[in-house]
Amino acid sequence: MEYNSFYGGRRGASFIITKKYSSIDEMINLFSRGGEYKDVNYDDYVLIDTENKNNPDNGKIYRRGYEYTNEFGGAIYTGQIVGPAGLAPHLTLHTIDTVKEIQQTEGYDYRTGEGRYTTANNSLIPGKVVNPNTGAITYNDDIQWAYCSVRNDNDSDSIAHIGFSFPYPVIDYEVETLPDYEDMTLVRVDDQTHPFYEKWRLSLPKGAKGDSFRNLRTMIADNTIEPYEGQEDDITNHREVVVYDFYTYDEPVGTYKTYYVGYFNKIDNINVTNAGLITIDYSYANTETYQLKLPTNVTIDTGVTEGTGTQKITITYSDGTSSVIGQPLNYIMETAIDSRYHLLAYYSDPARRAALVNPATYNGKSDWADLGYIGNGTGMGAAIGSEDSGAAEIIATAPGYSPWLITEEMIIGE
């Protein structure tokens, strides 16, 4: 055995990496040029140094061979000098609040993120889906997930990306009614093959322990009605009454009783006599009569002596009573024309005569009403020089011309 050193063993052959390439393809393209490419001598070693250190070709070593026409341009693979891939990132689950606290402590904003599962982004999906167009039903029975782990280019960081799709439960209900007094039930009726879908049937009895008010009506009173005050009298007189039926479900088969509400009283007939007597016949209550106070006669009491102020109107009514209008009649008893050609009127009511302003005196009475001058110098006896005119005195004292007037003072009564 040949020893070339004190420590033993043959000294290994040294080699020099004379050039590096960014990819195998770059190396092959240059080696394929043969003798034209002089940057690397034959039998020299070269290194593949990719930009992405996670590239599987990174760190491979080739020796330049002489057969530059083959598919590798004569390059001969001799090995790879590169470290092993890094470990996969650790993954620990926390609450959202805890993760945010760790983010703040870590201090790397670009290594954080957050989001939420919603129906809008389809991360929450219903357990049962009904197609709105066709009505076809499909079910989502699985929780789905997907993940990938990515190493950053030229970096030691790796990112694990994980996504889920969660179905949420859908529960359908149907309701049916049962006969009275059966037990209420709630039963699941789907085939239970879909973990995120359930269907339940709720069965409810009708009128369970309930009471009801029915059949409000009128009827001829009889003994089928629950007792009430005056019932026997109503039965004897065949009167109509208002009743209702009250059903009680304290037993499986409901029973009812009829209760009195009140009497049914309507008007059967109304009769009015000429004397004003109204008679009303009712179906339930007794007949009622009303006497109207109708005027049947109007007379004028002229008094003992005309003009004494006792002349009044007396009204007699259908009920036998009478009343007298309090004010005496005020009518004109007498008219005259005095020597001044003034029209005078004498009223029947003494109070009316006493209330006159500037009354006239004529024919021995000083309480005539002076209705004014009725001539203008052209009337009978009014011309100057006429024997009976007293023209000069009349012309001097007469008021202006006033035509004949019918005033309310001349109307009988007030």
pLDDT of residue 97: 87
Joined tokens for residue 129: 């889906």
DSSP state string for 26-88: HHHHHHTTGGG--SS-TT-EEEE--SSTTSTTTTEEEEE-S-TTSTTTTEEEEEE--PPPPPP
* Count of helix runs (H) and strand runs (E) in the chain: 5, 25
pLDDT of residue 330: 74
Phi first, then psi: give them for residue 67, nearest 5 degrees: -85, 75
How many CB atoms neighbour CB 47 within 10 A? 17
- Domain residue limits, the chain: 17-80, 115-170, 295-324, 332-410
Measured CA angle at 185 (ends 189, 181), to 5 deg: 140
pLDDT of residue 328: 73
Cβ atoms 167, 127 nearer than 8 A? yes
Q: What is the full per-residue pLDDT of the chain (414 aa) written as tens digits?
A: 455 555 556 666 677 899 999 999 999 999 999 999 999 999 999 999 998 877 889 999 999 999 999 999 999 999 998 776 666 667 788 888 888 888 777 766 666 778 888 988 889 999 999 999 999 999 999 999 898 877 666 665 677 788 889 999 999 999 888 776 677 888 999 999 999 999 999 888 775 555 677 888 889 999 999 999 989 988 998 888 899 888 776 655 567 889 998 888 778 788 887 777 888 887 777 788 877 777 778 887 766 666 666 777 888 887 778 888 767 777 788 899 998 899 999 988 888 888 898 999 999 899 999 998 886 544 433 333 333 344 444 444 444 444 443 333 433 333
pLDDT of residue 352: 84
Cα–Cα distance for residue pair 330/347, rounded to 1 Å? 6
DSSP state string for 63-74: EE-S-TTSTTTT
Q: Residue 26's Cα: distance from chain center in Å?
A: 79
pLDDT of residue 406: 36
pLDDT of residue 400: 44
Burial class of 241 by CB neighbour count within 10 A (0 to 12, 13 to 18, 19+): buried
Does an H or E element contain 321, and which?
none
Cα–Cα distance for residue pair 301/296, rounded to 1 Å? 16
pLDDT of residue 141: 93
